[in-house]
Structure 1
Amino acid sequence: MLHPGLIELSQDQQKAELKIVPNSHGPISEQDLQQLLTLPDFSCLFPLQAQITQAVIQVNQLSNQADGDVELFFEIADRRDASISFDVSDDKMQASMQLTAAYGGKTLDIRDVLQNLKIQKISMGLSKAKIDCLLTEFATLEPGKTCHGVIANGRAAINGVAAKLERKVSLARERLLQPQSNSDGTVDMRNLGALIMVKPGSVLIEKTPATQGTDGYNIYGEKLSAKPGKDCKLTAGSGTELNPHNPNQLIATVAGQPVENKSGMQVDDVLQIKNVDVGYGHVDFKGSILITGDVCEGMVVKSTGDITVMGFVDSATLHAKGDITVSKGVIGRQLKDLSLSTKLVAQGQISAQFVQYSHLEALGNILITKQLLHSHSQTQQQLIVSDSTGKRGDLVGGKAEALKGIQAVAIGATADTKTELFCAMELSELKSQLKQLDHSVKSMVVAMLNIEAQLRKLPPKEQWQGDAMMVEQVTVMLDEKRRMAQIRAQEELEHDALKLEIEHYYKRYCVHALKHVYSNVEIHIGNLFQRTQREHGPCYIRNLNQEIHFDYSS
């Protein structure tokens, strides 16, 4: 080891100085100088590696040379203060702190941490416990060692929850699909229970209001605004009113049958008929209709509410602004012009056990529990051909169109019956709606910025607050700004929901065969088409990357 006298502290005590004569002490190695820095007065200093390397080179070059008797001077270590640094996540929601122990210099305490946080403008979501824990660990570190940890977390905004309407009464379609049990445990398919009626004051629907959400903040204290939940209207139909003691409840004002609509319910008078035939005549009733028998050939039944048929519908026409529910079957035949003799049109849902050679058109779901044969069915929701167990439900022949997917136990037949399926056909329309919403939101932003610019140009308030006309103009601008903000928030919610639906459109809306898809089934999903050439087992059929894909994994 080199003589300890070769190294000493500088006059200001901040550096380690090496004074060495090459001919007297050389040659040397970097290890020799590192050993000198392990001496008590120097072990806490930061080694200056570049200077150490240079010192070794120069000393060894002059060692045993004529000019090697001259004393050389090098600064090979110095004091360094402890340091503090922060790492902030890209979304400004989390901050980590790193503390580096001093090399014989000034250390850090809580005051230094707070001062640096202030300089960095990190002010929210700080954890004193985590900072104290890091400082405790920091106090035990050797020179130059580091410790780090998360010391601040922002709080994400919690968006509001959408309003929800919860129905509190059963509907006719639920009654007809649930035959009653006899005392001996058997099921009477003809006994469908008592007619569903409500009394004045009965609660029909209860609304859970949308919530505004909770604003959040990032670590810099910047506000993260929550989006309010999407509201939905609860409107009173005929025979109903909003509860005067609770505006979130819709109650019946008359006795009758409850009928669901888009934004609430109505209570209809119920016309009860045994059979609709030539002897009874066509029916056009303002209310709901219960037919305990059949609707016979050539008859027309129209209702502003639900139509429920306990028997059969045979080559007839039914129009309902509510649901159409047929307990037994819907029977038709193909006419000479290739049209079908039976037609059911509902603004709600259509339900039946079996259907053949009929035209079904619904805004709601179409639910067939046994068979849908050689018919043309069209719905803006789902077409489901299956019983509750998923063991029976044949979709054979005809044309089935369902915007939000088709599910059946078996599709097609072993006889290669041509069966056409169309689903998920409105993606381009949804994209157009999204584009319009995007344009509307951007226009709203521009309009709000224009109003803000006009408000900023106003002279000080004291100069115009006595001018009634000026006060009125400012009030109008502020009201308009608030109105636009509300519309913008609502449209942004609709935009986000629509964007999410588009992103998952083909995954969500598909053809689902619970057991079989036979050959000669023409499948249209979006703009894609494929005809099956063989039998397939249980599968989901989707538009995947612009190809018809059969997924058997589920």
Structure 2
Amino acid sequence: MLTPDLLNFSGDGLFAELKLIPNSDGPVSEEAVRELLTLPEFNKLFPIDFNIKQAVKDINALANDGEGKTPIVFKIAERRDGQILLETSNDKMQASMTLVAPWGGKQPTLPDILRSLKEKGINMGLSRAKIEAMLHKLPQLKAGESVSGVIAIGKPAINGIHASLIRKVPLARERLLHPQEREDGTVDMRNLGSVVMVSPNDVLMEITHATPGTLGYTVYGDVLQPKVGKDLTLNAGPGTHIDPDDETKLIATVAGQPVEINNGMQVDDVLQIKEVNVGYGNVDFKGSVLITGDVCEGMQVRSSGDITVMGFVESATLEADGDITVSKGVLGRQLGGNELSTKLTAKGQISAQFVQYSALTSQKDILITKQLLHSHTNTESKLIVSDATGRRGDLIGGRAYAEKGIEAVTIGATADTKTEVLCAMNLETLKLRLKDLEDSSRSLFVAKLDLEARLRRLPPKEEWQNDPNMVDQVKMMLAQKHRVEAELAREETEKDLLGKETEDYYANYFIEAKTHIYSNVEVHIGSAIQRTQREHGPCHVHHQHGELNFDYSAKK
């Protein structure tokens, strides 16, 4: 058995030294040596495992040997100060600290931690309270035990909010969705209420401007730039102006019919006609046109604003720079080939209750509240064939293309009427636009780096600040840098929006049937095509991996 007097501190007090004479103290075991380290004055030291094993090996080799008379000293334990271990996440947005309790050495202190943080360059988002809480726990730990925690969190950049436009007045097309309610609670589809008109000083639209976002930072203090919101310019069309007391508001300057234009509104004079027939003649009006009766066969109506027809349109041609709203029906017939006798073309929306054998083309939504029969529809936006309740709306026959999706109560018919529906056909075009934006952004970024490099190469300011030509040159470089940065930020925002649209393209643009898709309906979504061979219940039809997927779980 090894006696306590064989173990002592080294002269500098840093090590526990075991002094043994092989012939008299050996042989020894590793357990016996380690037992000495449980003595109160040594039990907080760090055991040096290699030296302990070597001591046992050497003593036992010399025990009962002629050379085993000389004492041998082994350093079998040492004092070790507490440790401060710092680690940051891959994105540099979080720093963690581990404090290891000392083996008979010094405890880490707050100045020690602050010094370590400075050496690592961690200087933002630090929580002194969390650091001090960990320091408070440290004395309660056994030697070598540790306490860990997050002590610094970066601040992510907050992207800017895109500008938004809020229309404050109704439009003619919205009357179709809100017929007048009778006293008994039913609605009168023949009574759509009075024509929408505004007066001078009425607020037509308000804009909430984009925000630049908020800078963020990593725990190293690196600045994180936000993505600026996409801004819009509030466009004041004829009959309107920006409120001089509040530039976020667009107000009417004249009485008339409000018409939505791109990022703004205009107020049109309204030409009111009882009926457009051979006796009245064709109409070409700079403003909006309200027809309280019908548009008869062979007639043409052209408007720089909206066209509103309270009756029927039959085998006629309507063209509007705004919306076309037909309160009752749009009727046509089949001519030679695929030609149809009725044509409606709008830069805004097209809305009607009933449409048959007609060609509808719009840049915005097409809304049919009852039936769309044997017609050709083409819109860059959505086609909706449904009333407000979602219980009635039949899309039967013809060809319906809507880039941003089709929603109908039923598609096709029980008689297997051939019906063709298409959406989401422009993905490759979007990808090409995205590539052009990426190329342009790279060019702007290189130009920005070049300008920054030129500015850095300038001599000290005191050498040129009194030279007017040099001052002008520096001002021009700074102004150019700011222009490039602004354009780069705008393009980066456009690129992000277009990238998101491209990424979620087929998830967002699909075909929905609220109750049925019948057989003999040819469905095109992107490159995927399928002709239905049976009746399908309520479903969403999506493009997935080059094929069409009928998702019945989406039914309401």
Q: 1:346-495, aligned counterparts within 5 Å?
A: 346-495=346-495
Which stretch of structure 1 is more off in the superposition, 464-473 or 124-133? 464-473
- Whichever residue aligns with residue 390 of structure 2, its letter is G
**Residue 161 of structure 2: aligned partner:** 161
Over 3 Å counting, the alpha-carbon distance change for 1:352 and 1:39 in structure 2 is same
Maintained 8 Å contact 2:176/2:351: no
Return the alpha-carbon distance in structure 1 between the equivalents of residues 40 and 289 of structure 2.
Answer: 102
How big is the alpha-carbon RMSD for the aligned residues of Structure 1 and Structure 2?
1.4
Alpha-carbon separation, structure 2, partners of 1:450 and 1:200: 52
Hey, what's the Cα distance between the residues in 1 that align with 2:458 and 2:58? 74
Rounded to whole Å, the distance in 1 between the matches of 2:303 and 2:319 is 6
Q: Secondary structure at the match of 1:295?
A: coil
| SS class of match (2:201) | coil
Pairwise CA distance, 1:457: 3.1
Partner of 2:118: 118
1:254 aligns with 2:222: no
| C-alpha contact 1:241 1:250 (8 A) present in aligned 2 | yes
Does structure 2 retain, via aligned residues, the 8 Å contact 1:162–1:210?
yes
Question: In structure 2, what residue type is equivalent to 1:521?
Answer: V
Q: Deviations over 1:297-353 (max 9, x none)?
A: 111111111111111111111101111111111111101233000100010001111
Residue 236 of structure 1: aligned partner: 236
Q: Give the Cα–Cα distance (whole angstroms) in 2 for the partners of residues 532 and 187 of structure 1.
A: 37
Mapped partners of 1:521, 1:440: distance in 2: 43
Written as runs of structure 1 = structure 2, the 5 A alignment for 1:176-325 is: 176-325=176-325
CA shift for structure 1 position 189 = 2.0
Segments of 5+ residues of structure 1 without an aligned counterpart are none
Q: Any conservation in 1 of the 2:394–2:408 contact (CA below 8 Å)? A: yes
Deviation, 1:32, is: 1.3
Amino acid at match of 1:528: A
Point out the more displaced range, 57-66 or 260-269: 57-66
Instruction: State the SS of the aligned residue for 2:553.
Output: coil
1: distance between equivalents of 2:442 and 2:419? 45
- The SS at the match of 1:397 is strand
Greater Cα shift, 150-159 or 448-457: 448-457
In structure 2, what is the Cα distance between the partners aligned to 1:338 and 1:110? 84
User: Conserved in 2, the CA contact under 8 Å of 1:394 and 1:409?
Assistant: yes
Shift of 1:70: 4.1
Q: Which residue of structure 1 lines up, in the alignment, with residue 503 of structure 2?
A: 503
Question: 1:129 deviation in Å?
Answer: 0.7
User: Conserved in 2, the CA contact under 8 Å of 1:311 and 1:329?
Assistant: yes
Can you list the C-alpha shifts for 1:480-537, whole angstroms capped at 9, x where unaligned?
1111111110000000111111111011101111111112111111122121122211
**Does structure 1 retain, via aligned residues, the 8 Å contact 2:177–2:387?**
no
How many pairs align? Answer: 554
One-letter identity of the residue aligned with 2:486: Q
What's the CA shift string for 1:195-239, capped at 9, x where partnerless? 111000000001111112111111112211222211011011000
Residues 1:35 and 2:35 are matched in the alignment: yes
Residue type of the partner of 2:169?
V
Secondary structure of the corresponding residue to residue 481 of structure 1: helix
Q: Structure 1 CA distance, aligned partners of 2:239 and 2:460?
A: 56
More moved, 46-55 vs 486-495: 46-55
1:90-146 residue CA offsets vs partner (Å, 9 max, x unmatched): 111111111111111121111111111111111111111111101101121111111
Residue identity opposite 2:137 in structure 1 = E
Length-normalised TM-score, structure 2: 0.97
Report Cα offsets for 1:416-445 as digits up to 9, x if no partner: 211111111111111111111111111111
Distance (whole Å) between structure 2 residues aligned to residue 418 and residue 54 of structure 1:
92
Secondary structure of the residue that 2:140 maps to in structure 1? coil
Q: Distance in 2 between matches of 1:126 and 1:184?
A: 67
Counterpart AA for 2:397: G
Contact 2:402 2:422 (C-alpha < 8 Å) held by counterparts: yes
Give the Å deviation of 1:170. 0.5
- 1:107 maps to 107
Conservation of the 8 A alpha-carbon contact between 2:212 and 2:229: yes
> What is the one-letter code of the residue matched to 2:551?
D
| Greater alpha carbon shift after TM alignment, 62-71 vs 461-470 | 62-71
- Give 2:464's aligned amino acid: W
Contact 1:160/1:210 (<8 A) preserved: yes
Residue identity in the other structure for 1:500: K
- Partners of 1:184 and 1:82 in 2: how far apart? 83
Supply the distance in 1 between the matched residues of 2:66 and 2:459 (Cα, whole angstroms). Answer: 86
User: Where do 1:529-548 residues align within 5 Å?
Assistant: 529-548=529-548
* Structure-2 residue corresponding to 1:526: 526
Q: Once the two structures are aligned, what percentage of the paired residues are identical? A: 60
Answer with 537-546 or 346-355: which moved more.
537-546
Instruction: State how far apart, in whole Å, the 2-side matches of 1:366 and 1:3 are.
Output: 98
Q: Is contact 2:318-2:343 (8 Å) kept?
A: yes
In structure 2, give the amino acid aligned to 1:77: A
1:270: Cα distance to partner? 1.0
- Structure 1 pair 531–41 and aligned structure 2 pair: CA distance change class (3 A): same
Separation in 1 of the partners of 2:12 and 2:468? Answer: 74
1:54 to partner: Cα distance: 2.0
Quick one: distance in 2 between partners of 1:395 and 1:27?
Answer: 99
What is the CA-CA distance between 1:240 and the residue it aligns to?
0.3
Residue 67 of structure 1: how far off its partner (Å): 4.3
1:271 deviates by: 1.2
How far apart are residue 194 of structure 1 and its match? 1.6
Distance 2:150 2:23 in 1: 55
In 2, are the aligned partners of 1:177 and 1:327 still within 8 Å (CA)? no
Secondary structure class of the residue paired with 2:337: coil
Q: Give 1:66 deviation, angstroms.
A: 4.9
Residues 82 and 101 in structure 1, CA contact (< 8 A), matched pair in contact too: yes
> In the alignment, which residue of structure 2 is the partner of 1:7?
7
State the alpha-carbon separation in 1 of the partners of residues 50 and 178 from structure 2: 89
What is the identity, as a one-letter code, of the residue corresponding to 1:407?
A: E
Secondary structure at the counterpart of residue 483 of structure 1: helix
Q: Does the Cα contact within 8 Å between 2:215 and 2:226 map onto a contact in 1? A: yes
Unmatched tracts of structure 2, length 5 or more: none
Shift of 1:187: 2.3
Q: Which residue of 2 aligns with 1:170?
A: 170
Equivalent in the alignment of 1:340: 340
| Contact 2:420/2:522, CA 8 A, preserved across alignment | yes
Cα shift at 1:69? 4.1
Structure 2 match to 1:135: 135
Return the alpha-carbon distance in structure 1 between the equivalents of residues 401 and 185 of structure 2. Answer: 39
CA–CA distance in 2 between the matches of 1:108 and 1:337?
90
SS for the counterpart of 1:415 is coil
